[in-house]
Chain A
Amino acid sequence: MKDESYYTTNKRGAKLNLQTIKQNWFGNIKGDVLSGIVVALALIPEAIAFSIIAGVDPMVGLYASFCIAIVIAFIGGRPGMISGATGAMALLMITLIADHGLQYLFAATILTGIIQILFGVFKLSSVMKFVPRSVMVGFVNALAILIFTSQLQHFVGEGWVMYALVGLTLAIIYILPRFTKAIPSTLVAIVVVTAIAIFANFGVRTVGDLGNLTQQLPVFLIPSIPFNFETLMIIFPYSLALAIVGLLESLLTANIVDDMTDTESNKNKESRGQGVANVVTGFFGGMAGCAMIGQSVINVKSGGTGRLSSLVSGVVLMFLIIVLGGVVVQIPMAALAGVMIMVSIGTFDWSSLTNLHKLPRTDAAVMVVTVVTVVVTHDLSKGVLAGVLLSAIFFAAKISKVEVTQIAALEGSKKIYKVYGQVFFASVNDMLDKFDFNDTVKEVEIDLSNAHLWDDSAIGALDKIEMKFEQNNIHVTYSGLNDESKHLKKRIGGFSKASGH
């Protein structure tokens, strides 16, 4: 009987599952294919520019965007979301590549994926709720600032032509959408600026000057590194930072896509998917990546909501590189710098500047500290850590305010102390000062019905209060302990006398 019912529910579950899979893939074929092409066109300049930020050949970023987009299409948790090589991740790997080389990056990428898979398997996506909003705002703002400053090096030693071309790129990107939205304006900007640079023979620096582009599909390779503990110690800190930053941005993006499409998604599945995508990418010569807010917004706005959109974007991207690789290397750095400046302007949360004075001071401080830490250390994960720690301290400070009021009773021979708030290690010292131990009363009642005892410091403090009163021959009783506090008291065995031993 039991087995049978299990079987039928299971069968129905499987059937439903098949329907959702079909819906996720083929529910929106036309929209997904079109938006996938638009996204592929927008991905190419970004993947190249992020590779240059990281200090690797453009192919590393392009292979990453290709592999991640395709893997995520199949096993991601959020249909319609676009993942690939990103600025946040590229910024984290600069020193690893500079100090140890490309092979260590591939190994670190694989380890990043493994950490993310574990994160998803142990269903830790809800841990992200411990990252406060002001830290997230600081994170995206710091990211925007770093992407912007990473472009400044391309201006060093360049003449007016560079500035003019960047200006032209930005002008096309921002003005063209006012007239037509049919073609992505970044693509038009890149085509126009590349054409001008080639025909006018400006001799400006191009993508080809900064790295090689091979017109072939990625191949499977095992990173050629010594497999020992020393290697692990080199890559592990990078992988951990990459895993955390990647998941943070991916889950934020998933929430934005959830909201834009008014649907739900599985965050743990997305964490696992990001992990598998990074493992695959590492074995196929790509750099670690994550979900991209900008591209996902472009995708949904262009009508993409299904898994097909991510697959199409990856395939079209690789196809274009194989066919047009010779042209791509001639894109001037000025055009890419323009696109990156646009990306940083789009990433920055401008509303946080206009709202800064309206926010609680502590939230504003957390946001600013996150941004400053990142800009100084060039490490997004350190900024997040600093922001989380600071807001934890602010939170503890905020809730450690304990109110104590006194009420005289029984014609002055008894006093009732009412305690309001959270009694724990950070608040007990403050609380002790609020009792008058040298009182003339005979009896004291401590009313805890509006208080919560959290730890042994709380029990210890009450013991201390009791002791001090007893020294002055004042009897102490307690009232209004809530269940949880009672349980704690029992476990720790405090309240030496008043508990009635």
Chain B
Amino acid sequence: MFKKILLAADGSEHSKRSAEHAINLAEKFNGTIEAVYVVDAKSSKEDVLHNVDKYKVKEERQQKIQPVLDLLDNSKVEYNVQMLHGEPGPAIVEYANQHDFDCVVVGSRGLNKLQTMVLGSVSHKLAKHVYCPVLIVK
């Protein structure tokens, strides 16, 4: 039933908890996980400015979601990592809807607490616009 799972990851505490739930789900249904990390315009600018080249940029981003990758590495679930560019909400919605996922797992809030209060969060956008079931982890 839940064969192909999308996990929205930003390296926050909430995304670690969502990773645990995604892993449980994948183990139960013998599914695979695709961990997705979105780079928005602001971090694009900062990362390029602070790093020597694009390999270093990639390395630093990988490091940001390392806690989530560690959890995935320690499980038996097959997974891969995808870096997307754009606004986190719409970018994940588009990716999820284009690639026929069975379930999207996302934390109730990410790194940016202020923004969740003012704008309505990524999880809210996903719940509204993704076609498949969305699991919001508290």
- Cα A137 to Cα B85 in complex, Å, equals 23
Q: Which chain A residues in 251-301 approach chain B with CB under 8 Å?
A: 252, 255-256, 258-262, 293, 297, 300-301
Contact mask for chain B residues 100-122; partner A; CB cutoff 8 A; 1 contact, 0 none: 00000000000000000011000
Q: Is A349 part of the contact surface with B, judged by Cβ < 8 Å?
A: yes
Quick check: A261 and B85 within 8 Å, CB to CB?
A: yes
Contact mask for chain B residues 28-45; partner A; CB cutoff 8 A; 1 contact, 0 none: 000000000001010011
By a CB distance below 8 angstroms, the chain B residues around A459 are none
- Name the interface size band of chain B: 10 to 19
- Cα A261 to Cα B86 in complex, Å, equals 8
Q: How many A-B pairs fall under 8 Å by CB?
A: 47
Quick check: B57 and A351 within 8 Å, CB to CB?
A: no
Q: Is B128 part of the contact surface with A, judged by Cβ < 8 Å?
A: no
Question: Which 7 pairs, one residue from A and one from B, show the smallest C-beta to C-beta distance?
Answer: A260-B44, A256-B48, A259-B44, A255-B48, A297-B41, A351-B46, A259-B48
Quick check: A133 and B50 within 8 Å, CB to CB?
A: yes
Q: Which chain A residues in 346-388 approach chain B with CB under 8 Å?
A: 349, 351-352
Q: A260-B44, A300-B41, A301-B41 are in contact. Are A252 and B49 (CB under 8 A)?
A: yes
Q: Is B27 part of the contact surface with A, judged by Cβ < 8 Å?
A: no
Quick check: A259 and B49 within 8 Å, CB to CB?
A: no
Q: Is B54 part of the contact surface with A, judged by Cβ < 8 Å?
A: yes
By a CB distance below 8 angstroms, the chain B residues around A301 are 41, 86-87
Please give the residue numbers on chain B whose beta carbons come within 8 Å of chain A beta carbons, in ascending order. Answer: 39, 41, 44-52, 54, 57, 83, 85-87, 118-119
- Name the interface size band of chain A: 20 to 34
Q: Is A2 part of the contact surface with B, judged by Cβ < 8 Å?
A: no
- Cα A261 to Cα B84 in complex, Å, equals 9
Quick check: B52 and A293 within 8 Å, CB to CB?
A: no
Quick check: B50 and A137 within 8 Å, CB to CB?
A: yes
Of A133, A262, A300, which is within 8 A of B51 by CB? A133
Quick check: A258 and B41 within 8 Å, CB to CB?
A: no
Of B44, B52, B83, B86, which is within 8 A of A256 by CB? B44
Of B45, B46, B48, B85, which is within 8 A of A262 by CB? B85
